[in-house]
Amino acid sequence: MHFLNTKFVTLLLVFALGGMYKESKHPLHVSTTEVNINAKDKTLEVSTRIFSDDFEAILVKLYKQKTDLSNPNLKAQMDALVKKYLLSHLQIKANGKVVALNYIGFEIDHEATNIYLEAEKVTPPKAVEVNSTVLYDMFDDQMSIIHVVKGANRKSSKVLYPDRSFTANF
């Protein structure tokens, strides 16, 4: 497993999620997930970023209901869909054991949707495994960029469909 240079990852994210394709569909299918190990609070803070148009498309396809993540009148309904989807497509293991993820919420940031989760009462692990199948049921060229951060130590990788996991050892 190789690790990506942080500058390369930042450049890729700016390119992929920075809104360069306002008038046309974007040609890149990518999501990012970051797991921040908060040793002080004994939590894992998880954020996932997905292109909103792709995310809405998969929610409509799977759940067969009106989907508009940016409509404040549908916020409660969208929270339920986002939670259902992400909790079934993202799994985190700490030291080999699956952790329970609590859904915090989501927000729209330009053309992307940021989703926040948290695992509580987690002793700071020596190994974190992230299993992601976000948008795998939509695109066979999906790329997941995964970061795991423990203090000043950051480990990153890209995971290409059909692969689904990355393990960071500290």
pLDDT tens digits for range 121-140: 999 999 999 999 999 999 99
Tell me if 107 is assigned to some domain: yes
Summarised one tens digit per residue, pLDDT across range 21-79 is 344 466 789 999 999 999 999 999 999 999 999 999 999 999 999 899 999 999 999 99
Residues in the chain: 170
Question: CA 90, 48, 143 angle in degrees (round to 5)?
Answer: 75
Q: Mean of the pLDDT values across residues 138-148? A: 96
Q: pLDDT value at position 26? A: 64
Query: Do residues 37 and 129 make contact, with C-beta atoms less than 8 angstroms apart?
Result: no
Tell me if 26 is assigned to some domain: no
What share of the chain has pLDDT > 70, as a percent?
85
Tell me if 25 is assigned to some domain: no
- Residue 91: domain span: 6-19+32-169
pTM of full prediction above 0.75: yes
Count structural domains, the chain.
1
Tell me if 27 is assigned to some domain: no
- HSE-CB at 104 with a 13 A cutoff on CA atoms is 13
Tell me if 24 is assigned to some domain: no
Tell me if 1 is assigned to some domain: no
What's the CA gap between 163 and 170, in Å, rounded? Answer: 22
Q: Mean of the pLDDT values across residues 94-120? A: 97
Select from 127, 126, 46 the least CA-distant residue to 89: 46
